Chains A and B, each alone.
Chain A
């Protein structure tokens, strides 16, 4: 399965539900989808990764880039429900201390 992203506009947050594989062929697509939110002035972002079966460093790179961008604007990019494998990779890169990670989408959205 290639990557799919569902975007929902919440009261204070824009929610992105990502599904499938995030790799070097489509990571920039993920990045530009998130960029669009920041362009619109939405800097409180939640990335629900529960449907991501695979993510390479190309996906992490885009996430870090967007995190830096929205933080500069006083916002945050928070992660909901990553799989064990994705969580392991986040930990290996030390990103578990840089991203706020929540076990559920509701908690991540509610954290703003």
Chain B
């Protein structure tokens, strides 16, 4: 993936803003949502401020920091490199958010925020330089779209065509507005090929938003129009609760697990 932005700034607080702006642009180009973009900006701000204050001790003359942003499939990766004395910011103990006001030191929260806001953070010493790598995961849909070969989208959620033409689909994680379009593509691609018996096993789904429900219902409708069905199984209690809230438990056939669902269909057939 050749999408790389980089910038070198002088080691002074006034230049941190330039790096923040560059990171915001790159994060938006990587299709991160507004919240994730904010997190990236704040992590970079905190990291650079630390380097300037503690690494270079406000000595800007001849001292620079390099910031690189890269899109690596499903990850947005920010690499910060400086040649101040070796310092691993991650080696320091984090402050405690539960600490009451009287004993609380006002500062020391920069590293804590970097760790909390990013999905992965690591430090290495490379050629006498400090290198801090900050990673934010990208939404699944965009990551899937940036994969080169066609058909990869379907791999985002496993699915298998059975001997009798029925299809089993295993979505996982969160079915929200980021990931539901992936499920939609998987369902549609099977429907288009004439597979009207769809078994969606939700055992690995921990959360479903209205966008996910909508996609299940429209696929259910299309399947039924062609004398098939979309059957659900393996729902976690919270997911059942959501379906009940909107009355979809009356719409779908729901089975405790996938085997029950498949057996019920073979009896019907």
Contacts and interface: CB of A to CB of B under 8 A. Distances in A.
A23 B16 contact: yes
Contacts of A84: 35
A84 B110 CA distance: 19
Contacts of A58: 49
A68 B101 contact: yes
A38 interface: no
B225 interface: no
B97 to A, nearest CB: 3
Contacts of A62: 106
A106 interface: no
Which range contains the number of A residues in contact with the other chain? 20 to 34
Chain B interface main SS type: helix
Contacts of B106: 60-62, 64-65, 68
B255 interface: no
Contacts, number: 70
Interface stretch (A6-14, A40-48, A89-97): A89-97
A93 B100 CA distance: 11
B13 A24 contact: yes
Nearest to B102: A68
A93 B38 contact: no
Given A54-B41, A62-B106, A93-B109, A23 B101 contact: no
A73 interface: no
A25 B95 CA distance: 23
Contacts of A71: 101
A68 B104 CA distance: 9
Interface in A53-112: 54, 56-58, 60-62, 64-65, 67-68, 71, 84-85, 88-89, 92-95, 98
Contacts of B42: 54, 56, 89
17 contacts: A23-B17, A23-B49, A24-B13, A24-B16, A25-B17, A54-B38, A54-B42, A56-B42, A57-B107, A57-B113, A58-B49, A67-B101, A93-B97, A94-B97, A94-B98, A98-B100, A98-B104
Interface of B: 13-14, 16-17, 35, 38, 41-42, 45-46, 49, 53, 95-102, 104, 106-107, 109-110, 112-113, 116-117
